[in-house]
Amino acid sequence: MVAKETRQGKVMTVEGLIPAGQMGITLPHEHLVVQGWDYRERNYFNSAYMELVQYPLAGGKTLVDLTNVGRDRDPVFFKRLAAKSNVSLILGTGFYKDAWLPPEVHAMSVDEMTQFMVKEITEGVNGSGIQAGVIGEVGVSRPITRTEERSLTASAYAHNETGAAIVVHFEVGTPEAEYAHAIDILQSARADLSRVVVSHLVPRPDNFETYKRLADRGCFLAFDLLGQESWPLMKDLVRTHPEVQHSSVKGFIDNGLLDRILISQNVCHIRHMTVNGGGGYTHILTDVISRFKAYGISDTEIRTMMVDNPKRLLAFQS
């Protein structure tokens, strides 16, 4: 177990602690075990490796895998991938959406959930000794369930005990009141909201006021669905042309939200793989950044979103 005082200012990767300054370009919301053509399938090491190895070749350095309880986790698989692909990989802990959770999770108390997460951060995931470095993605359904409310409270407690950040999963298009309810739960449990990420947000002009209010509370805004148009299901949910998303990011920056923005792709389905016509883990680096620049987003602003903001979020604060 790593002593807590040695973690401050560092991030926990599958290969151990590194200084946050070494993170470089970071994708803060991805998955390495992805869903296959139906819910019973998953990818395997060779296919995952062939996708991930393209990321450092495109300039990427660090990737956050937010696969936690309720989804297919394999920390040893992840560590092999990181070593072979030369990627700094950060793993998540905690509990996904209610309907995905095994029955025993629904019987857990807040304290049991808290100690489960603390153990995965300080000792390792599934007894592997491979430690998680972030809490998330913490599942929130519509409407939020009692189990998910306990999970959010426990996430705040584990965050306070370990210094790890929290990433909350919301459904695409969640109403503002539902965002506020979940954030209120975290705040009431004394979470530092400047280390909380609201995920699956779609940048477009009509969402600006809602997202600004989340940022005003201190939260990071994760525009982490870039490239989802390769999956028809998500394309139907997002309902926003990529050019509108790219240009809207510029608008959010111009209205003072640069230091709250994170960008990622949320690769989670086999359709997202390059071999199947998707953008893979390089889509932002090879396709989106050029569009950002076409709309006037500077190299400095891109660095803030892809290097500086993830570093501030993921570095342990205690």
Domain locations in the chain as residue ranges: 14-314
Confidence at residue 36, expressed as pLDDT on a 0 to 100 scale? 61
Confidence at residue 318, expressed as pLDDT on a 0 to 100 scale? 73
Confidence at residue 46, expressed as pLDDT on a 0 to 100 scale? 67
Q: What residue has token string 């309720």?
A: 70
Mean pLDDT of 60-71: 96
Q: Is the pLDDT of residue 43 over 60?
A: no
Confidence at residue 37, expressed as pLDDT on a 0 to 100 scale? 56
Using the CB atoms, write b or e for 239-276: b if 16+ within 10 Å: ebebeebbbbbbebbeeebbebbbbbbbbbbbbbbbee
Token pair, residue 94, equals 């905690």
Confidence at residue 263, expressed as pLDDT on a 0 to 100 scale? 98
pLDDT tens-digit readout, 295-304: 999 999 999 9
pLDDT tens-digit readout, 273-282: 898 889 999 9
Contact 147, 141 (CB under 8 A): no
Contact 110, 154 (CB under 8 A): yes
**Mean pLDDT computed over every residue of the chain:** 93
Contact 92, 121 (CB under 8 A): no
Contact 121, 164 (CB under 8 A): yes
Pairing of strands 16-19, 10-13: antiparallel
Q: Which of 8, 32, 30 is closest to 20 using CA atoms? A: 8
pLDDT tens-digit readout, 201-235: 999 999 999 999 999 999 999 999 999 888 787 88
Read off the pTM: 0.95
pLDDT tens-digit readout, 4-23: 558 999 999 999 999 999 99
Q: What topology is assigned to 14-314 in CATH? A: TIM Barrel (3.20.20)
Q: Which of 222, 228, 184, 191 is closest to 310 using CA atoms? A: 222
